Amino acid sequence: MGNSTKFHGLFDLRDDGMIVYSRALDSNAAIRGDLVGQNFFDKFDGTGESVDFRLQFYEFVKSRRGVESIVLDSTQGNARLKTKVLMTRAYENDDHSPHERFMLEILEDV
C-alpha cells in the first residue's frame, strides 16, 4: 500500500471501513486527526498482514457478533511485534434510524 502508515489508537468506522472518528497516533506518536473521511484500510498497514486484517474486519461486520479480539503480527525495523485489535459493534441513532458503527482499538506490542 503506497501511502500506508503505522497507526495505533481508537477508530470509529462505518461498515465499509470509512473513518468517522479517529483518536490515532502514528508511528511518530503524533495525533492524527486528518484521517476522518478516509478508508481505514487504504491508510493502515501496521500489521504486515493488512489484507487479512481487512478480511477479518468484514467478517466481523457480517457476523453480528458484538465484540472480537484478534492479534496480528507486525514489523518495526527488524523486530516482530504483536498488534492486538479490539473490535466492538455499536449503534448510533440519528434522525430516528440506527446506524451501525465499529470501534477499533489498536494496541501495539502486546
User: Does a structural domain hold residue 44?
Assistant: yes
In terms of average pLDDT, the best of 5-9, 48-52, 74-78, 101-105 is: 101-105
| Residue 39 scores a pLDDT above 50 | yes
What CATH code is carried by the domain that includes residue 26? 3.30.450.20
Domain limits for position 93: 7-108
- Total-model pTM: 0.74
User: Does a structural domain hold residue 2?
Assistant: no
Total number of domains constituting the chain: 1
User: Does a structural domain hold residue 14?
Assistant: yes
- CB-based contact 22:30 (threshold 8 Å): no
Calculate what percentage of the chain has a pLDDT beyond 90: 22
Q: According to the model, what pLDDT value does residue 18 have?
A: 93
Q: Tell me: the pLDDT tens digits for 40-73?
A: 888 765 545 567 888 899 999 999 899 999 888 7
User: Does a structural domain hold residue 13?
Assistant: yes
Cα dihedral value 110, 17, 54, 104, nearest 10: 20
User: Does a structural domain hold residue 1?
Assistant: no
* SS3 sequence of 19-63: EEEEEEEECCCCEECCCCCCEHHHHECCCCCHHHHHHHHHHHHHH
Q: How confident is the model at residue 101 (pLDDT cuts 50, 70, 90)?
A: confident
Q: According to the model, what pLDDT value does residue 54 have?
A: 87
